Structure 1
Amino acid sequence: MKNLLFLLPLLLLTGACTEIIDLDLNETSPRLVIEGRVSDQPGPYYVKISRTLNFDEPNNWPAVSHAGVWITDSEGVTDTLQETVPGLYATSHLQGKPGNTYTLVVEVDGETYAASSAMPPPVPVDTAYLTESAFMGGDGLLPTVEFRDPAGVANYYRIAFNRDGDPLPGFFTLSDKVWDGEKVSRPFRFADYDIQPGDQLTVELQSVDPAVYDYFYVLEQTSGQGFNQSPTPSNPTGNFDDDRVLGYFSAYGVSGFKVR
């Protein structure tokens, strides 16, 4: 079976970054791609909607305009998102709050798609700093992040970095299955970027729900970056109620820290 890696650009809350989705070349019918995030930081929050192309066409997925897009929280607040640029929809008044569950509903061409995500509380970053790399014989600088994992509850994390205010490509996933309640001190190595002296880095420690963690865990395997790698990655399964839809919807609490 033939496969092809498609680059999936995200123009969401934290800016533009790149994810990778591994698609079966035998599936040539265009598929809907929905990507959305809500955090506990001030909005607006964004949902991006596009379609895949046939595998032999340029990798520039067309935006989907004029969709109906709504986000509702577990307190009954509904926000109707407005299209700001083709395929990108923004909230107007919704505010993310840990403990709430958020449901995204998207209507395209008479079909309705939905996904829900519960927002965990953020976990504070204690410190973040640069160290000399001795990882796999490499050299340069590695950012190290330290935090205390809350005990007695399953925690799932997505870690992202910004340089001079712009997102760095890639991300990392962690879960506390083997170190529940412990202090975590973890260095991170980027596959496609070398940290340079003078870089102004910040880290985002995102607390995500299990379904979102599973999605990004598979993406991390596919990208070949970080600790979670597999020689035979599978297609990521999102949390939408229709498995024809690619992408995900995530509600997450986030803790930021400037890397020293």
Structure 2
Amino acid sequence: MQNIIYTFLIVCLLSSCLEVIDLKHDDNAPVLIVDGLITDQPGPHFVKLSTTISFNSSERSFAVEDATVTLSNDLGEEEQLLHIGSGTYQITTIQGVVGRTYDLNIDYDGRTYTSRSTMLPVSEIAEMASTFRNATSLSDAGYYVSMAALVSVPDKINYYRWKVYKSDSLFSGKEDIIVAEDEYADGSFEFEFEYPFELNDEVKVEMSSLNKDAYEYYNGLAEVLSSDGGLFSPPPVNAPSNISNGALGLFQANAVSSDVITITE
């Protein structure tokens, strides 16, 4: 009988700690999402538009196919982008040049959205190498690629992003957002990518210059994607956008350098 009483008291205590929470959310009007990029590499380059969906929707997003999208630069050149389908607008005449500033203008659903990005210089990748490492508790056995580069502009904080390809296949998972700044680099920096490769693999690394707002966007995006939703995780928020008027996403003008290495013994 004593055990039954104790069990009853424990159940009552646990029950008093439980509370049903009715999540409140607003199915507001869709918000525009922008994914725009121009580089100094041969195009074509694109601006992709979509909208957010309601909380209860099973869809992923909706392509925006009826916007008017204009790109201009600080030389006075301007073009209206051609919609080629599925919310993708192609940049056809304006070229990406280091030092130029680019303005994106989007007219959609009675509202105007703008963004500006300056194409900053990027250093050439000075060296790439591979080193074989045995398996550990934290990593698999394989050849790991490292790279070295000079800072782009001395005496100034520069921001970068790296993309890694294996035989032209991009590593594009949530853990593959690789960005850094060189505030504490002493003229150059070097680091190793966390991908194990095999003999004869061809590895390509692209290094892009970023504006500070793009760097902050990718850091915010990486934080959101890596959150496990646990008790001690920060509340989810959108990555900081550089698009006006409440739109989400990013428009960026990036200079790009790249190098390729084939894994050998």
TM-score greater than 0.5 by the shorter chain: yes
- Give the Cα–Cα distance (whole angstroms) in 2 for the partners of residues 185 and 27 of structure 1: 47
CA distance, structure 1, for counterparts of residue 76 and residue 106 of structure 2:
17
Residue 165 of structure 1 is matched in structure 2 by 168
Q: Write the distance in 2 (CA, Å) between the matches of 1:135 and 1:158.
A: 27
Match of 1:202 in 2: 204
The correspondence of residues 220-235 of structure 1 with structure 2, limited to 5 A, is: 220-224=222-226, 231-232=233-234, 234-235=237-238
8 Å CA contact 1:43, 1:94 repeated in 2 = no
Whether 2:72 is the aligned partner of 1:69: answer no
- Summarize deviations over 1:116-160 as a string: whole Å, max 9, x none: 001101211012233335776312343312111142122000111
Q: Do residues 217 (structure 1) and 247 (structure 2) align?
A: no
Q: Give the structure-1-normalised TM-score.
A: 0.80
Corresponding residue of 2:158: 155
- What secondary structure does 1:217 align onto? helix
**1:174 partnered with 2:180:** yes
Any unmatched runs of 5+ in structure 2? 1-22
Partner Cα distance (1:215, 1:196) in 2: 33
How far the C-alpha of 1:196 sits from its partner, in A, is 4.2
**Residue type of the alignment partner of 1:99:** G
- Distance change >3 Å, CA 135–CA 204, structure 1 → 2: farther
Following the alignment from structure 2 to structure 1, what is the Cα–Cα distance between the partners of residues 116 and 110? 20
Moved more, 132-141 or 37-46: 132-141
- 8 Å CA contact 1:47–1:88 kept in 2: the answer is yes
Report the more deviating stretch, 245-254 or 121-130.
121-130
The change in CA–CA distance for 1:67 and 1:184 in structure 2 (over 3 A counts) is: same
C-alpha distance after superposition, 1:154-198 (max 9, x if no partner):
20001111222232212201001222x4221111225xxx54444
Alignment of 1:1-260 (within 5 A): 26-29=25-28, 30-133=30-133, 137-139=138-140, 140-150=142-152, 151-169=154-172, 170-179=176-185, 181-189=186-194, 195-224=197-226, 231-232=233-234, 234-242=237-245, 244-260=246-262
- Answer yes or no: is the 8 Å Cα contact 1:107–1:113 preserved in 2: yes
What CA deviation, in whole Å up to 9, does each residue of 1:38-78 have, x standing for no partner?
10112221000001112332242111102101110111111
| Mapped partners of 1:58, 1:218: distance in 2 | 25
Aligned residues of 2:182 and 2:189 also touching (Cα < 8 A): no
Identity of aligned residues (%): 26
Query: Normalising by the residue count of structure 2, what TM-score does the alignment of the two structures yield?
Result: 0.78
C-alpha change, 1:131 and 1:235, in structure 2 (3 Å) is farther
Residue 81 (structure 1) shift: 0.6
**5+ residue gaps, structure 1:** 1-23
Identify, as 1 or 2, the structure richer in strand.
1
Secondary structure of the residue aligned to 2:243 is coil
Structure 2: how far apart are the matches of 1:171 and 1:64? 26
SS at match of 1:203: strand
**SS of equivalent residue, structure 2 residue 221:** helix
CA 1:31–1:141 in structure 2 vs 1: closer, same or farther (change >3 Å)? Answer: farther
Quick check: 2:156–2:183 contact (8 Å CA) kept in 1? no
C-alpha spacing 1:231/1:159, structure 2 compared with 1 (3 Å): farther
